[in-house]
Structures are given as structure tokens and as C-alpha cells.
Amino acid sequence: MRYSLLTLSAAIMLSSCGGNESTDETSSTDSLATDNATAVTASQLQRADFSHFFTVQGLVEADQNAQLFPEAAGKITAILVKEGDNVSKGQTLLTIDSKIVANQINELQSRLSLAKLVYEKQESLWSQEIGSEIQYLEAKNNFESLESSLETLEAQKSLYVITAPFAGIVDEINPKVGEMANPAMPAFRLINMKSVYVKADVTEGYLGKINEGDVVTAAFPSMNYEVETKIKRIGNYINPNNRTFKVTLELPNSNNMLRPNLLAEISVRDYHSDSTVVIPTSLVQLTPSGQEFVYAIEGGIAKKIEITTGKSYMNNVEVLEGLNGNEMLIERGARSVKDGDEVSIQS
């Protein structure tokens, strides 16, 4: 009886020890299964709007940007403005010595006064049928000839003055008072900064993808400034040398920040899709044959999904086929897994 109790006690102890070993084995197996899972990060896809833009460079231009030349040679007697001055249309900027022409005008005005008096008297006599017709015609011809000559001299005198052809800012003044004006050398540069625009050359491949009135962004890198504007005009001529056409943009410039020949970088949208599948380009992988694919997670398992992509922009690409937009895509670790691998999502 005692032997049986001892045997029973030993059996119980052995049974107890055996149970612990079984538990340890199970725990070890579970740990091994977890260790075999590849740690990855993942993100839930959501549909989004996608736009593609292309960038071209252009230059700021101004319609009213003119070099003003003297139209007559002579000594400069006065410069009536300074660089940076705002001037109005028709304002006198510079005068040139015109004494010779002025003296000729004074002399001609005296002769014209006499010729007018003679003509009026001959006209009065002729109306009374007194005197000869030839005397009347000679007096009339002399008066009209002198009148025409005076108009010519007055026009010549205006050549000795430079006036502003439009309102703007005097940007440059080249000559100095006392120097000789030279019709071949510019005297002023006058710019109206209120009306500027950007012109850019666009590759003919984009013809038909952009339209007048499209909203674009014009950035000016040297000024760290950008503005949203519209395409004002699309040119009709294709340059045969570089296969481009001209695009003109409207530009607000109320603060006079934009200057002629300033470099602009223009972003133009040429494609847009509403509520489409968009993923980071870094997630797209290629098979040796060139087939695109990504990895998604389904039930803790990595699944290889072949896709077809469209346009890409700013590190994102539109997926045209293969994804419906509700997948959980593997991000970090996507290049370390294979189709069917067990994965665990890490935060």
C-alpha cells in the first residue's frame, strides 16, 4: 500500500513536470512564428484628386518699354527729369538748342504778317472788281506758301524737344547737359511698370492640352515670389527651329515688383483626374520584364499586385489599373518581402 502511494506520488510529479515542458514548447513555437513575420509599415489607400503640371521658363516683358532718341542734332540745353522720376504722357524731358530754327520762325512770322495784309487787301479789291486777277492770285499764293513754310519750321522745332510718349518711369538717362545730342544714340529709357506680362516658349506636344484662360502659377526665384494668374493668349505659330509656340500670361504688378526681363518659372496644369488612386512613386517596383507592381497586406500576408501607372508629379503617381483604392499598401519593408510572406505592421 505504501509502495502504491509512493508510485502514485511519483507519477503525479512526473506528470506535473511533463506538463511544463509541453507549455514551454508551445510558447517557443508561438515565438518562432512571430519572429518569422517581416516587420513593415503600411498605409491605407484613399482615393484623391490628381493633377499633373509641367514647368517652362519665361521672361517678364512690358509693352511700354522704350528707348527715346533725339530726332535732331544739337547741343543739349536742359534735362528736365531725373532717373526714377514718374512722368506723364507728353511731358518734356529734354531740350536741344534750337536758336537757328527759332530765328527762322521769327523772320518768317514777320513776312507772313505782311503777306497776309497784302493778300487781304488784294482780295478786297478783287471782290470789288478793282485791280487785276493776277495780282490777287500772286498775293494769295505768297501768303499760303509762307504759311506752309511756317508750319514746316514749327514741326522742325519740335524735333529739338524730347517728350514722353506715354506715362511711366524714367529708368535711364544717358546724355548730360552741354553734350551734343546724337540721333543715333538713345537719350532715355522710359518704362510703364503698371502693364507687364510674361512670354514663354512651350513645346508643341502640349498644344491642345492647355487653353486660354487656364489658371497657372508664375514663380520668380530671384525674388522668392509667386503669383497665380491666367493664360492670356496662346500663339498660333510653331517655331520650326525649336518646335515651340508662344504663351502669354497676364501679370498684376500694382507694387512695381516685376521688371522687364525678370526670369519666371511657369507651372501649367496639363492633366487632371477626380477621385483616382494615387500612390507614392517610391512604392512602385519592377519585375525583370518591366511589369510594375506593389505589395499590399491581406490577412497579415504580403500580396504582390501588378499595376499600370499613368502620369507622375511631385513624387506621386496615378494608378490606372490594379488597385481599387481601399488596399493597405506596404511602405517601409516593401523591398524585403515576397509574395505570400507573413508580415507584421509596425508603428
- Distance CA(15)–CA(119), nearest Å, equals 151
Q: Please state, rounded to an integer, the average pLDDT across all residues of the chain.
A: 86
Burial 207-236 (b: 16+ CB within 10 A, else e): eeebeeeeebbbebeeeeeebebebeebee
Q: What is the pLDDT of residues 43-82, one digit of tens each?
A: 999 999 999 999 999 999 988 899 999 999 999 999 999 9
User: What's residue 29's pLDDT?
Assistant: 36
Whether the pLDDT of residue 272 is over 60: the answer is yes
User: What's residue 328's pLDDT?
Assistant: 95
Q: Give me the count of residues in the chain.
A: 347
Burial class (CB in 10 A: 0-12, 13-18, 19+), 328: middle
Pick the more confident residue, 201 or 254: 201
User: What's residue 105's pLDDT?
Assistant: 81
Q: Are 203 and 241 in contact (CB under 8 A)?
A: no
CA-only gyration radius of the chain, Å = 45
Burial 135-162 (b: 16+ CB within 10 A, else e): ebeebbebbeebeeebeebeebbebbbb
CATH of region 71-96+160-191, choose from 2.60.40.10, 1.20.210.10, 2.40.50.100, 3.40.50.300: 2.40.50.100
User: What's residue 107's pLDDT?
Assistant: 83
Lowest mean pLDDT, pick from 53-67, 69-83, 109-123, 299-313: 109-123
User: What's residue 13's pLDDT?
Assistant: 33
- Residue 8's pLDDT band, with cuts at 50, 70 and 90, is very low
For domain 38-49+274-345, the question of CATH label 2.60.40.1480 is answered with no
User: What's residue 141's pLDDT?
Assistant: 87
* Cell numbers placing 258: 516685376
**55-64+192-272: CATH class:** mainly beta
